[in-house]
Amino acid sequence: MRLGRDFFARDTRTVAREVLGKYLVRILDGIPLAVRLTETEAYIGRLDKACHAYHNRRTQRTETLFAPPGTAYIYLIYGMHHCLNFVTEAEGEPSAVLIRGGEARSGLPILCRNRFRREWADLSAYQRKQFLNGPGKLCQALGLTRAENGCSLLGETLFLCDDLADLGLETPPEDRTPPVIHTGRRIGIDYAEEAAFFPWRYFY
DNA sequence: CTTCAGATGCTCT
DNA sequence: GAGCATCTGAAGA
């Protein structure tokens, strides 16, 4: 079953927690790419110095955070990588869930070529183990860039779902037991003072 | 396994 | 002009 707007229109930390284990699907050139989400972070504009839209800060970049829940917020970081977020809360409450990691479930050959311009069989064990364990890696594999900033997550080519039946695939056995979720500090925001210590990173 | 430097360009001041 | 919600490869332990 696909996730609707109501899923995203809730407390950001709840969404960050509950989206773990769900599948992010992108249909690219007719081919379904699917990633099971394993790591997220919550960013809440109202309270959070680490959020780009802290105190409702409105600039060209943060405009997407004011879009309806269920919108993709994608920005360029460090001049060469992209980060994907899901906009959350009621429309106009600038908040989002950063997608930090996942595991490939469909379209592995494409995901792999997007990331390494090589075949899965040619990757080292280290490369396989670290395949999608970072926000930039995930965007690169899925071919998501600023061109997709502001796109709906409720559409026909980019969406989330509960299971892989939507894609005509069987859900693997290891995906059937609910993940045990851990929390921790968010990564790479040491500048954000007390907010750097909020336990708003979720993973399993 | 760990640390570290360097890449690279957009965004806001 | 400064800073950034990162990744990679090389080198060391």
User: What confidence score (pLDDT) does residue A43 get?
Assistant: 98
Q: Which amino acid is at A47?
A: L
Nucleotide nearest to A81 (CA to C1'): C6
User: What confidence score (pLDDT) does residue A96 get?
Assistant: 98
The pair of three-digit structure tokens given for residue A147, joined into one six-digit string: 């061109």
Q: Is A174 exposed, middle or buried (0-12, 13-18, 19+ CB in 10 A)?
A: exposed
| Bridge partner list, A197 | none
User: How high does pLDDT run on average in chain A?
Assistant: 97
Distance CA A73, CA A85 (A): 5
User: What confidence score (pLDDT) does residue A50 get?
Assistant: 98
Q: How would CATH label the architecture of A5-167?
A: Roll (3.10)
Neighbours of A102 (CB within 10 A): 27
Distance CA A185, CA A62 (A): 23
Whether A143 CB is under 7 Å from strand C: no
Q: Percentage of residues in chain A with pLDDT exceeding 90?
A: 100
Identify the band that residue A24 occupies on the pLDDT scale cut at 50, 70 and 90: very high
User: What confidence score (pLDDT) does residue A197 get?
Assistant: 96
Structure confidence by residue, pLDDT tens digits, A126-139: 999 999 999 999 99
* A74 three-class SS: strand
User: What confidence score (pLDDT) does residue A170 get?
Assistant: 93
Identify the band that residue A27 occupies on the pLDDT scale cut at 50, 70 and 90: very high
User: What confidence score (pLDDT) does residue A135 get?
Assistant: 98
What kind and span of H or E run contains A127?
Answer: helix A125-129
Whether A4 CB is under 7 Å from strand C: no
Bases of chain C within 7 A of a CB of the protein: 3-8
Contact between A15 and A86 under an 8 Å Cβ cutoff? The reply is: yes
| Bridge partner list, A74 | A84
User: What confidence score (pLDDT) does residue A113 get?
Assistant: 97
> Hunting for tokens 């800060």 — which residue is that?
A57
Spatial distance from the CA of A61 to the C1' of B12 (Å)? 10
Non-local CB neighbours of A76 within 8 Å, separated by 6+ positions:
A82, A145, A146
Give the closest residue to B12 (Cα–C1′).
A59
User: What confidence score (pLDDT) does residue A78 get?
Assistant: 97
Structure confidence by residue, pLDDT tens digits, A157-194: 999 999 999 899 999 999 999 999 999 999 999 999 99
Distance CA A114, CA A119 (A): 10
∠ CA A8-A69-A165, nearest 5°, is 50
Nucleotide nearest to A149 (CA to C1'): B10
User: What confidence score (pLDDT) does residue A75 get?
Assistant: 98
User: What confidence score (pLDDT) does residue A67 get?
Assistant: 98
